[in-house]
Amino acid sequence: MSEQYKELLKIRRQRELTKTLRANKEKELLKEAQLREEKAKEELEEFSDFKNARQSEIYSTNTGAETDRRQIEKDRSEMFLMKEKQHIKEQSVTQAKKNTAQQEQVWEEAREKRVDEARGVQKFKHLLDNHKEQARKEFERSEEKKVEEIPHARLQSQR
């Protein structure tokens, strides 16, 4: 029995040892959990302090932010106006080019019309000159015939 008793004592000691080890392990885990919780609380406090500081900074610079917002809006409107002016300028340049091209086209058409008219006038003058020449030739022929007929008529009247 003494051996059995010794073994029972060993088993009890091992059980007690495992119980104490488990208890110690649980205590360590509990301490670690408490440390993590404290650390989280500290971080939360720091964050809330930071948040409060940031809010107070925002509050104190709210008028500055409003000024910044107004400045940004002013810059945007100036940028928009500059873009509009540039767009209008480009449109006016484009329109001027179109007008110039149209004017040049009108001038070209007028020049062509004058050239055509001049050609028509020249053609008309040529036709008129031809007609005058034909009329002059016909007149000369008729005069020649008259001259030929006059002596012939004198001869007949003398007979």
Q: How is the chain split into domains, by residue range?
A: 1-60
Give the mean model confidence (pLDDT) for residues 42-67: 70
pLDDT band for position 16 (cuts 50, 70, 90): very high
pLDDT band for position 137 (cuts 50, 70, 90): very high
Query: How do residues 21-40 score in pLDDT, each as one tens digit?
Result: 988 988 998 899 899 889 88
The overall average pLDDT reported for the chain is 82
Structure tokens, 24: 């110690």
Q: What are phi and psi of 147, to 5 degrees?
A: -65, -40
Separation of alpha carbons 3 and 9, rounded Å:
10
